[in-house]
Structure 1
Amino acid sequence: MRQRLTELRGPGVRPRSLDARALAALAANPGCRRRALLDGAGIDKGALAQALGSPAAYGQSQFAIVRGHAFEAKVTSDGGTELLRLLHERLAPGTPPPVPDEVATPDLSAAGPEGRTARTALALREATAAGGWALLQHPMLAVEVAGSPAYVEPDAVVVHPDGSWTVVEIKSFPMIDGAADAAKVGAAARQAAVYVLALEPVAGQVGAYTGREVTVRDRVLLVCPKDFSNLPTAAAVDVRKQLATTRRQLTRLTRVEEIAGALPEGTTFDLRLGDDGKTATRPPDELAEAVEAVGAAYAPECLAACELAFHCRKRSREEGAVETLGRGVRGELGGLRTVAEVLAAAGPEAPEPPVTPGGPDDPAVGALRRAAALRAEVLARAVVPGPRAEEPGCP
């Protein structure tokens, strides 16, 4: 299977790592076989979209990235003293506060993601067995996605003296008057849920080894700048809902080997980069044929989460698919799959040719015809504009 994924990427192309943000987006659309395969194979979807002529138009600016790194460095400086103070204040107010000099900060460096994952598991085991506070900065965790391992890296994980672990998310968006943008907090919660999910099997192994009850807390610490300053503040975020959703959706993903096994022989997403290592030399038509060999499940929400969304939207519009109107509309239309079918269903009784698959008795067809009749009635009763000011008879 590993050889097949290497063929899909192309010779000499290193797999692209799958972060928690991408995992959360993948879990939000488990029916998309295209994204499951491309992410599972470690293919750079951004470069692929660029070569297809539909580059992604979103992403953080360089300024935001630099600002985020600077804020995280401030929060975790001095051995994470300020971070631990905020965590104790928000999540463990009734316990003795951590003493900075007694907080363990293990070195997690190792070769490769597999080595870093093993080193993280060892550090968590040692810190839990010691029974004190520990701060692990940028640990590496593994989570299975469609039958393949994906490696994710939370900002920090704190080990409590009671054996519980807390995920820490550090974001650069502000928390004004104790509240942050709801959409951004929701995205952070979904991302943190992936980290909690990845920690759970490690907690089970550590608990069996140490003989202690080890739990991963379902309330994570979100650290943000306070108001309009660069001073950190924090809030506890309950991720139980996001955790349950992510766990359920990831189990629904079709395994990568099943998707890859159904592809035509010789299918590859190799861009054939030129001498500069950046410019794709493979014809876009060949790439588009390879991409279309894998089924997609496009929805407007993909525009904010997937690099291939603009390509998929273009194809969906060309096919007249109702998915371009949103999942809610798609669900209401039942068996009607294209805009042409919907327009035909809204027409007179017994349209020619007959609507497929629904007929006049189809509930969706009936609802469309009632809506079309109401629209026609409203247009017929539209008020005719009165005479303009320059016309005779106007006061």
Structure 2
Amino acid sequence: MVNTADSALHLIRHPLLEFDLAGVTTHLELDVLSCASLGQLTPIEIKSLPLHHQTDADPHKVGAAVRQIAVYMVALRRLVIVSGGTRDQVADQALLVMTSGFSMRPEAFVVDMRPHVDHLEWVLAQQPNAGLVLADLPRPAILPSPMAPEASPEEKLEIKAATKEAVSALPMHYGDGCATCPMLAFCAKEAELHDSVAQMGTQAANACGSVGTISAAFDLIGGRRMPVSGAERAVVADFSRASAALALAGVQLDH
């Protein structure tokens, strides 16, 4: 398909692609891949999303589908380059197929994938190699062997304690997107234990930047500590503006 366009197939159902993420290889399966002779490779994603009034669909589900297609396109471009082609042989657009209302009639829309693919490639370029990450992990961060069904109560307690120690050795990352994660309770407790601003929400954590604890933020806001870095000065400035706005609204803050 890449090197002999005249004999290229037009549609391939469920093609399998390799995808390398931080040095770990996984496999992806598209719904359909199209290629017209002397044309470009174009992913086609089929979703059972109902499309109402020809234009209205669930924006969250459509966004997820577009991000999924972006991953396919990055993997496809990598495959084309390895096969001796160029990234231009993969189209900048994709075809998203949904259902018309609650019927079985399909409707297809062309989606401009350039901004989504460019952003994904930038994100992937920032990812460290998984092997290097593993080499730098603290020594206690080694999970014990899986618990056997016939394990005694004492062995189960030992495995649970070793697992907790291993997970605790890793840096905690907690935010608004953790609500459905099975590690939610553990990371929320870690955030509270370390007085992390993350427990106040992602927006608060972004606003505080490198000022990582609630007590440090309030010391800066209350004037008990002078800011010494750009991030600390930005925190003081942001909260000073917020405090002034609340004062105008008749709300008095107690630092």
TM-score by length of 2: 0.79
- The answer to whether the aligner puts 1:167 opposite 2:43 as a matched pair is yes
Structure 2 counterpart of 1:157, one-letter code: L
Structure 2 counterpart of 1:172, one-letter code: S
Residue 335 of structure 1 contacts residue 358 of structure 1 at CA under 8 Å; is this kept in 2? no
> 1:173 is paired with a residue of what secondary structure?
strand
* Whole-angstrom CA distance in 2 between matches of 1:156 and 1:335: 45
- The answer to whether the aligner puts 1:130 opposite 2:7 as a matched pair is yes
Deviations 1:188-210 (A, max 9, x none): 111100000000122234455xx
Residue 39 of structure 2 contacts residue 89 of structure 2 at CA under 8 Å; is this kept in 1? yes
* Whole-angstrom CA distance in 2 between matches of 1:308 and 1:240: 34
- The answer to whether the aligner puts 1:365 opposite 2:230 as a matched pair is no
Q: Between Structure 1 and Structure 2, which shows a larger proportion of strand residues?
A: 2
> 2:42 is paired with a residue of what secondary structure?
strand
Q: Structure 1 residue 237: deviation in Å? A: 1.4
Residue 167 of structure 1 contacts residue 192 of structure 1 at CA under 8 Å; is this kept in 2? yes
Question: Larger deviation: 286-295 or 195-204?
Answer: 286-295
> 1:172 is paired with a residue of what secondary structure?
strand
Q: Structure 1 residue 355: deviation in Å? A: 6.2
Aligned length: 245
Specify every segment of 5 or more residues in structure 1 that has no aligned partner in the other structure, as ranges. Answer: 1-123, 381-395
Question: Larger deviation: 225-234 or 306-315?
Answer: 306-315
Question: Larger deviation: 182-191 or 260-269?
Answer: 260-269
What does 1:32-111 align with in structure 2 at a 5 Å threshold? Answer: none
Aligned to 1:322: 197
- The answer to whether the aligner puts 1:235 opposite 2:109 as a matched pair is yes
Give the root-mean-square deviation of aligned CA atoms: 3.3
* Whole-angstrom CA distance in 1 between matches of 2:163 and 2:26: 25
* Whole-angstrom CA distance in 2 between matches of 1:296 and 1:223: 39
Task: State percent identity of aligned pairs.
Answer: 26
Residue 15 of structure 2 contacts residue 32 of structure 2 at CA under 8 Å; is this kept in 1? yes
Deviations 1:32-63 (A, max 9, x none): xxxxxxxxxxxxxxxxxxxxxxxxxxxxxxxx
* Whole-angstrom CA distance in 1 between matches of 2:212 and 2:118: 31
* Whole-angstrom CA distance in 1 between matches of 2:226 and 2:145: 42
Q: Against the structure 1 CA distance between its residues 318 and 265, is the aligned structure 2 distance closer, same or farther, given a 3 Å change threshold?
A: closer
Q: Structure 1 residue 358: deviation in Å? A: 6.1
Aligned to 1:223: 97
Residue 227 of structure 2 contacts residue 233 of structure 2 at CA under 8 Å; is this kept in 1? no
Aligned to 1:273: 147
Structure 1 counterpart of 2:36, one-letter code: H
In the alignment, which of 63, 66, 75 is matched to residue 198 of structure 1? Answer: 75
> 2:49 is paired with a residue of what secondary structure?
coil
Greater relative contact order (Cα < 8 A, sep 6+): 1
In the alignment, which of 25, 33, 51 is matched to residue 157 of structure 1? Answer: 33
Residue 341 of structure 1 contacts residue 355 of structure 1 at CA under 8 Å; is this kept in 2? no
Residue 99 of structure 2 contacts residue 107 of structure 2 at CA under 8 Å; is this kept in 1? yes
Residue 140 of structure 1 contacts residue 151 of structure 1 at CA under 8 Å; is this kept in 2? yes
Residue 133 of structure 1 contacts residue 160 of structure 1 at CA under 8 Å; is this kept in 2? yes
* Whole-angstrom CA distance in 2 between matches of 1:365 and 1:128: 61
Aligned to 2:53: 177
Residue 30 of structure 2 contacts residue 72 of structure 2 at CA under 8 Å; is this kept in 1? yes
Q: Structure 1 residue 260: deviation in Å? A: 0.7
Structure 1 counterpart of 2:33, one-letter code: V
- The answer to whether the aligner puts 1:143 opposite 2:27 as a matched pair is no
Larger C-alpha radius of gyration, 1 or 2? 1
* Whole-angstrom CA distance in 2 between matches of 1:356 and 1:363: 9
Aligned to 1:187: 64
Structure 2 counterpart of 1:362, one-letter code: R
* Whole-angstrom CA distance in 1 between matches of 2:216 and 2:167: 26
* Whole-angstrom CA distance in 2 between matches of 1:334 and 1:132: 51
TM-score by length of 1: 0.54
Q: Against the structure 1 CA distance between its residues 226 and 273, is the aligned structure 2 distance closer, same or farther, given a 3 Å change threshold?
A: farther
- The answer to whether the aligner puts 1:262 opposite 2:129 as a matched pair is no
Q: Structure 1 residue 220: deviation in Å? A: 1.2
Residue 167 of structure 1 contacts residue 221 of structure 1 at CA under 8 Å; is this kept in 2? yes
Q: Against the structure 1 CA distance between its residues 226 and 317, is the aligned structure 2 distance closer, same or farther, given a 3 Å change threshold?
A: farther
Q: Against the structure 1 CA distance between its residues 375 and 228, is the aligned structure 2 distance closer, same or farther, given a 3 Å change threshold?
A: same
Specify every segment of 5 or more residues in structure 2 that has no aligned partner in the other structure, as ranges. Answer: none
Q: Structure 1 residue 287: deviation in Å? A: 1.6
Aligned to 2:171: 295
